[in-house]
């Protein structure tokens, strides 16, 4: 434990999986670590059961954490979450936006319009509404850090999952745009691009056999766990990255650096 988040207030969206007795999500673990390192945390999510349980455990451990129900595609929900955070703690310094949904890997010609819209809404409308909602409170706090959780799929594509990959690529440019617009307010905006990570998001797909197959495509030789991704997120959330903005932090174990095995 350190005190690197002492005095900081964080809204962690998509962070419901912060219960160490269960499989952690990486935003969930980031919320837990911010609170352990002296910060005050509000977790926003649609998964009220997981979010409430996580926050109860954090409170029992003496940490400062609260939960708010919010759907990132809903403008009013963002306002409620920001008002709650500022109402409880008087400021807002960090916003992590990790809400995401998969698109089941369809090809373009088999993707339903509703699927396309929903994936785009959760990722791209969500990041826009969230960033817009936190700018003013961050200005009042003399600056802040917005960390948008993207994916290595922002850089590379596979033979499907077009909505997912396209929405993630959009995050990169949005972060650059927001970084330029709000640099003068000392508000930094960056993306983290995780690779294959075992979390509640992937638990159904990543059984042992599939994880072993994926691991062969990873130069570091294994799929990630939540701690592998929380580190980069917390670096960008903290003052350790105080001159970093408009950047992408790739945390994929080397997958996108590699052309693949030569045999």
Ligand X SMILES: NC(=O)c1ccc[n+]([C@@H]2O[C@H](COP(=O)([O-])OP(=O)(O)OC[C@H]3O[C@@H](n4cnc5c(N)ncnc54)[C@H](O)[C@@H]3O)[C@@H](O)[C@H]2O)c1
| Interaction site with ligand X (CB under 6 A) | 14, 16-17, 25-28, 45-47, 70-73, 98-101, 122, 149, 151, 194, 196-197, 199-202
Cβ atoms of 229 and 15 within 8 Å: the answer is no
Collapsing DSSP to helix, strand or coil, 152 comes out as helix
5 or 164: whose CB is closer to ligand X?
164
Instruction: Reduce the DSSP state of residue 192 to 3 states and report it.
Output: strand
Closer CB to ligand X, 100 or 144, in the complex? 100
Catalytic residues: 164
Residue 7: CB minimum distance to ligand X, A: 26
φ, ψ of residue 73 in degrees (nearest 5)? -85, 0
CA distance 3 to 1: 7
Q: Where are the alpha helices (DSSP H) in 71-112?
A: 75-89
Contact 42, 85 (CB under 8 A): yes
**Smallest separation (angstroms) from ligand X to the CB of 142:** 28
Q: Which is nearer to ligand X, 199 or 238 (CB)?
A: 199
In the complex, the smallest distance separating the C-beta of residue 241 from ligand X, rounded to whole angstroms, is: 19
């Amino acid at each position: 434990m350190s005190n690197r988040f002492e005095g900081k207030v964080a809204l962690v969206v998509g962070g419901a999986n912060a219960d160490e007795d269960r499989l952690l999500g990486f935003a969930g673990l980031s919320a837990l670590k911010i609170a352990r390192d002296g910060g005050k945390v509000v977790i926003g999510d649609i998964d009220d059961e997981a979010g409430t349980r996580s926050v109860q455990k954090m409170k029992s451990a003496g940490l400062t954490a609260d939960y708010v129900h919010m759907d990132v595609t809903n403008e009013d929900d963002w306002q409620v979450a920001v008002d709650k955070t500022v109402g409880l703690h008087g400021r807002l310094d960090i916003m992590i936006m990790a809400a995401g949904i998969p698109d089941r890997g369809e090809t373009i010609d088999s993707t339903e319009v509703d699927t396309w819209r929903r994936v785009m809404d959760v990722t791209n409308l969500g990041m826009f509404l969230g960033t817009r909602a936190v700018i003013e409170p961050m200005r009042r706090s003399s600056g802040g850090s917005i960390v948008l959780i993207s994916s290595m799929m922002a850089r590379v594509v596979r033979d499907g999952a077009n909505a997912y990959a396209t929405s993630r690529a959009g995050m990169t440019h949005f972060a650059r745009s927001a970084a330029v617009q709000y640099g003068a307010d000392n508000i930094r905006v960056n993306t983290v691009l995780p690779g294959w990570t075992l979390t509640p998001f992937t638990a159904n797909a990543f059984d042992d056999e599939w994880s072993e197959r994926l691991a062969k495509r990873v130069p570091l030789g294994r799929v990630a766990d939540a701690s592998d991704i929380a580190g980069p997120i917390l670096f960008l959330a903290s003052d350790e990255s105080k001159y970093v903005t408009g950047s992408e932090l790739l945390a994929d174990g080397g997958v996108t650096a590699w052309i693949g095995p030569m045999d």
